[in-house]
Structure 1
Amino acid sequence: MTKWSGLDHRWLVSFACVAIALILPIAIAPATPAGPRAVVELFTSQGCSSCPDADRIVGELARDPSVIALSLPVDYWDYLGWKDTLADARFTARQRAYSAQRGDREIYTPQLIVNGQQQVVGSDRAEIDRAIRASAQQSDAMSVPVALSREGNELKVTVPQGQSGASGEVWVCAIVREVPITIGRGENRGRSVTYHNVVRNWLKLGDWHGEPAHWNVPLENLVGEGVDGAVVFVQNGNRDHPGTMLGAALTTLQ
């Protein structure tokens, strides 16, 4: 039988403690939560017979913590016999601005924009997933870790230091997470559709030029019409020429 001297024993204990100290942090260190990898914007309409499938898919994406999904109902199908109760002319203008920026005439419903870069048919889940994966390969897309939180009667927005030359506009959107609608006339007559993360208002907070920036947004500027959530996004370009989504965050208000 091998005998250990007192010195040997102390050395062995010390070695074991060092080994445990080296291994333990790796084993118990909490994972750093990943930020969202995509902002998807669905241009939809209650008067579009092809849209309910896309509205359902946006509901699925809204439950994915790696995606911020927004519904932006447009107003150009209102003449078909049913006036969209959620439509906003500003959403129609945004869709047209994306088309002008791309240099095409692709304006339709359901159209989904991924990270301000790619447009796909909003009812094609496979194409949506492919576009999200492709956008993730772009170094600037969703590269800015925006922070958003509620403190009392304010939203706290923080945009950190960016890469050299980074710039964009910072916007806050007031959203309603679920809006059930029964459609009385038009192509979807008699159908009940639930719309998810419907934008009800948006405000420009300011311009970001790559330096750390902070905003305090009074909730009274956002609440109303059932609003129960908020999204902040940083987007390259401007309202008339929207570019790549650089970062975004979402929080609930209720």
Structure 2
Amino acid sequence: MFRQKTMHQTPKKQHRHDIDRGRRVVGDKKGAILVELFASQGCKTSPEAELLISRLGRGDFNLGQPIIILGFHVDYWDYMGWKDPFGSSQWTVRQKDYVESLKLDTMFTPQVVVQGRTQCVGNEEENVIGNIKSATVFSAPNFQANFQKTEPDTLQVSLSGSLRMKIDNQGANIMVALYENGLVTDCPNGENKGRVLSSDFVVRKLEKLTSVKDISAKKNISGTLNFPLWDSFNSTKCGLALFVQNNSHQIFGCQKFDLPGNL
């Protein structure tokens, strides 16, 4: 079942070494493609897309290019009888931005957006893979990340590096997403009543590191973010993605980091 909502105007081995009380991680430097899934546990066809995304993340397909996956659970199907525990109005707004920038008429789930430039129905395997294989690839940003738990419920991430591409006077935002894998939910109500739903790459937090404008490819950029953590936080199930996005919502490079297991 295809769920649609009308728009309203309203692997490389990671190299690590100890530093202070945290862990510094060097991300994968090979250019990757950012794949975003917009889904909901209140949508009957979203679990099929979640399975496809998990398979993509495991490397089940010969894509010829590394990918970074982020799953955003929207909240506009919560009224259908089941409130998605990972749903957020923030992710609904993000999807709406894509609907506008890609000149679409509707918001729907499941939807896959590739590099902020193309989109398709998220459970259509051939179209998802086709969009990934035809996507424009950019050099990965060259950042290092230092992770520390400054408080029991706070993860501090310090990032430093360069974008490896020039940013013109139109500017861009450097965004950082904290995501979680291996989530399992019993769904007693709604369109997926009685099912056990599995999800990977679920975005739990998304923050802007900084905005940049008129900078060279080698310009050093640094900043620190503090992520509030959830009760079941387990660093071995989580990852961090850094990506560059312009004001037209197009992606110009991304990089990912595994979280140290000792946090």
Shorter-chain TM-score tier: 0.7 to 0.9
Contact (CA 8 Å) 2:180, 2:202: kept in 1 or not? Answer: yes
1:232 aligns with 2:227: no
1:205-238 CA distance string (max 9 Å, x none): 11122332322425x435435262211111111x
Per the alignment, residue 25 of structure 1 pairs with: none
Contact (CA 8 Å) 1:174, 1:223: kept in 2 or not? Answer: no
Percent sequence identity over aligned pairs: 27
Instruction: Output the aligned Cα RMSD.
Output: 2.2
Contact (CA 8 Å) 1:45, 1:109: kept in 2 or not? Answer: yes
SS in 2 for 1:246: strand
1:172 aligns with 2:176: yes
| TM-score normalised to structure 2 length | 0.74
Q: Which amino acid aligns with 1:142?
A: F
Per the alignment, residue 159 of structure 1 pairs with: 162
| TM-score normalised to structure 1 length | 0.76
Q: Which amino acid aligns with 1:150?
A: N
1:181 aligns with 2:176: no
SS in 2 for 1:85: coil
Which of 12, 35, 41 pairs up with 2:30? 35
Equivalent pairs counted in the alignment come to: 213
Consecutive unaligned residues of structure 2, counting only runs of 5 or more, are 1-27, 60-64, 150-156
Deviation for aligned residue 1:151: 5.4
Spell out the pairing of 1:1-254 with structure 2 (5 A cutoff). 35-64=30-59, 66-136=66-136, 141-150=137-146, 154-163=157-166, 165=168, 167-209=171-213, 210-211=215-216, 212-218=219-225, 220-221=226-227, 223-225=229-231, 226=233, 228-237=238-247, 241-242=248-249, 244-253=250-259, 254=261
> How many Å separate the matches in 2 of 1:196 and 1:43?
12
1:128-150 CA distance string (max 9 Å, x none): 111112213xxxx5345342433
Q: Which amino acid aligns with 2:82?
A: W
Q: Which has the higher helix share?
A: 1
> How many Å separate the matches in 1 of 2:141 and 2:162?
7
Contact (CA 8 Å) 2:140, 2:255: kept in 1 or not? Answer: no
Do the aligned partners of residues 170 and 250 (structure 1) sit closer, same or farther apart at CA in structure 2, a change above 3 Å counting? same
Consecutive unaligned residues of structure 1, counting only runs of 5 or more, are 1-32
Higher relative contact order (CA 8 A, sep 6+): 2
